[in-house]
Amino acid sequence: MQIDQIYTACLSQASYFVESNGEAAVIDPIREIDYYLNKADRTKSKIKYIFQTHFHADFVSGHLSLSKTTNSPIVYGPKADPNYDCIIAEDRDYFDIGNIKIQFIHTPGHTLESSSLLLFDEEGKQHSIFTGDTLFLGDVGIPDVAQRYKGLSKEKLAAILYESINNKIKPLNDDIIIYPGHGAGSACGKNMMKETVDTLINQKKVNYALNGSCDKDEFVEKLIKNLPEPPAYFPANVKLNQDGYDDVEDILIRSDVPISIDEFKNYILDPSIIVLDTRSATDYIKSHIKNSIFIGLDGRFAPWVGEIIKDIKTKIILICDRGREKEAITRLSRIGFDNCLGYLDGGMKKWIKKGNEISKVNSIRPSEFTDILKLNKVNILDVRNISEHAKKHIEGSINIPLSKIENRKNEISNKETFLHCAGGYRSVIAISILQKLGYKNFKNIEQGFNGILESDLNENCYSSSQQVVL
């Protein structure tokens, strides 16, 4: 038996390839399926089943493409209602893969159809459990309000999840291995550990959902407290996973195309088209096309695209470093943004070489900023998350998380404002949005709050606060 965890860092998502004696199962595949096909070839195994723990909201799964390519059935747990042929397993149903068995265990709460997959090894012993978004390491899956179940509140879903964890997962053998669907950084949980594999016995020590530290009412209260609104693309991704989608290869055929400078200039006259600059923050600061939105490939690209652009049907044209065009299109497709029209031929280098107009971002080093702060009272906009700001921030700074910038634009001053995040990635995204909205008087603090902390700013200039959700 062999278990491979395939971790997609940008999405903080884990899929799995499980092989035994020439047969394999794939669990929660991402949209591009080459890895699973290549792995099956290398192990000389046949993919027998494609298991889905639930309808994913934060990414488009590769289950349909993989099923079409391999002629393998898709399997969901109870309560699933996809609009395509598949197997709907009953609670406790078994599936043979080579010399091992996988049992579907219905564990609703994150969603109504959520299931966990209990693996029995060659000796029939409980070996591991693939918990999807039901149980994470150090945390649990938040109620998936993106699906908007009629008549079911987040409180009710949380109560259902409590029963699933305590009645279905907690009684399993202590030594089994937990393979979750996500790691730290995913929007499907709140306080996940950075590790992506653990044992049940250790989680019983460190996970509040398993260590007996709270009863059902306390669990529900803790889980739904400060529960964020799901990103706008979540319901759209659920629908794609329920109804179907185009293969990544088809998207690349129509999207991986160069756009000439003249054609590009015509496109940017259309306000419905987003110019998305995927280069580094440093390069964007030095030169970019007016009204382009920066979201760099070297950060959490796909989740921020979904947070900022919101409508997955938006037409997008790309500015990329040479050789990264296909990567950008593929990563957009992971969250259902399939309407990419192409990329600027020759990128910014050719644009500048041809003498076209460019814009820049005003930036300041942390040491320069702290020198100014020592002498003057200044406007400071902190675009970190509420919890980051609450932990420690500059006294007098205004906190508007990046995901709320556009909705709360009326709170932003037109006076000179110094803007920062934690490390310098989110702040440049924020400035690109504000520039597109017509704000001009911003200075980006390079290296963000981390850089400020390393400066000689007096500790009295910092503050902390109770976390408040706005």
Write out the two tokens for 333: 């497709």
What confidence score (pLDDT) does residue 148 get? 61
Q: Spell out the per-residue pLDDT of the chain, length 470, in tens.
A: 999 999 999 999 999 999 999 999 999 999 999 999 999 999 999 999 999 999 999 999 999 999 999 999 999 999 999 999 999 999 999 999 999 999 999 999 999 999 999 999 999 999 999 999 999 999 999 987 666 667 788 899 999 999 999 999 999 999 999 999 999 988 888 889 999 999 999 999 999 999 988 999 999 999 998 887 888 899 999 999 999 999 999 999 999 999 999 999 999 999 999 999 999 999 999 999 999 999 999 999 999 999 999 999 999 999 999 999 999 999 999 999 999 999 999 999 999 999 999 999 999 999 999 999 988 889 999 999 998 999 999 999 999 999 999 999 999 988 999 999 999 999 999 999 999 999 989 999 999 999 999 988 877 778 876 443 33
Q: Classify 350 as helix, strand or coil.
A: helix
Topology match between the domains 246-353 and 363-463: yes
Q: Using the 8-state DSSP alphabet, how is residue 273 labeled?
A: E
The whole-angstrom separation of Cα 196 and Cα 137 is 7
The CATH number of 2-233 is: 3.60.15.10
What are the residue boundaries of the structural domains of the chain, listed by start?
2-233, 246-353, 363-463
- Residue 316's contacts (CB-CB under 8 Å, 6 or more residues apart) are 273, 274, 275, 276, 309, 332, 337, 339, 340, 341
Architecture of domain 246-353: 3-Layer(aba) Sandwich (3.40)
Strand partners, 103: 94, 118
Distances (CA, A) of 303 to 124, 181, 273, 470: 40, 16, 19, 21
The whole-angstrom separation of Cα 142 and Cα 229 is 11
The CATH number of 363-463 is: 3.40.250.10
**Furthest C-alpha separation in the chain:** 72
The whole-angstrom separation of Cα 232 and Cα 146 is 9
Strands 258-259 and 340-344: what pairing?
A: parallel
Give the gyration radius of the chain's Cα atoms. 24
Q: Classify 385 as helix, strand or coil.
A: coil
CA angle 75, 77, 81 (to 5 degrees): 85
CA angle 175, 181, 187 (to 5 degrees): 130
Q: Classify 289 as helix, strand or coil.
A: coil
